[in-house]
Chains A and B, each alone.
Chain A
Amino acid sequence: MKNLRMKAARAALDLSQQQLADAVGVSRQTINAIEKGDYNPTIKLCAAICRRLGKTLDELFWEE
Chain B
Amino acid sequence: MDHYHAGVLFGLTTGLLAGLAFVMFLFKRKILDMSFDERQERARGKAFQYAFLTLAASAYAYGVSDLALGRWCDVLTGVTLCFSVSVVVFAVTCILKDAYLSLREKPRTIMTFFALLSLVNLGFGVMYHLSPGLVENGVLTFRAVNPIIGSATLVILIVYIVNHLLRPRDEEAE
Within 7-55 of A, Cβ neighbours of B (below 8 Å) are at 16-18, 25-30, 32-33, 36, 39, 41-42, 44-45
Distance of A30 Cα from B35 Cα, bound (Å): 14
Q: Does B37 make an interface contact (CB < 8 A)?
A: yes
A33 near B37 (CB under 8 angstroms)? no
Q: How far is the CB of A44 from chain B (nearest CB, A)?
A: 8
Number of chain A residues close to chain B: CB under 8 A: 17
Nearest B-chain residue to A38, judged by Cβ: B39
> Main SS of chain B's interface residues?
helix
Q: List 30 A-B contacts (CB under 8 A).
A: A16-B171, A17-B171, A18-B171, A25-B37, A26-B37, A26-B38, A26-B39, A26-B103, A27-B37, A27-B39, A27-B40, A27-B98, A27-B103, A28-B171, A29-B39, A29-B98, A30-B37, A30-B38, A30-B39, A30-B40, A32-B174, A33-B39, A33-B98, A36-B174, A39-B39, A41-B38, A42-B38, A44-B38, A45-B37, A45-B38
A interface list, Cβ under 8 A from B: 16-18, 25-30, 32-33, 36, 39, 41-42, 44-45
Specify which of B37, B40, B103, B171 is in contact with A32 (CB 8 Å cutoff): B171
Query: CB-defined interface of B142-174 with A at 8 Å, one 1/0 digit per residue?
Result: 000000000000000000000000000001101
Distance of A51 Cα from B83 Cα, bound (Å): 44
B98 near A25 (CB under 8 angstroms)? no
Determine the chain A residues whose CB is within 8 A of the CB of B39 once the complex forms. Answer: 26-27, 29-30, 33, 39, 41
Determine the chain A residues whose CB is within 8 A of the CB of B38 once the complex forms. Answer: 26, 30, 41-42, 44-45
Q: How far is the CB of A22 from chain B (nearest CB, A)?
A: 9
Determine the chain B residues whose CB is within 8 A of the CB of A32 once the complex forms. Answer: 171, 174
Distance of A42 Cα from B174 Cα, bound (Å): 22
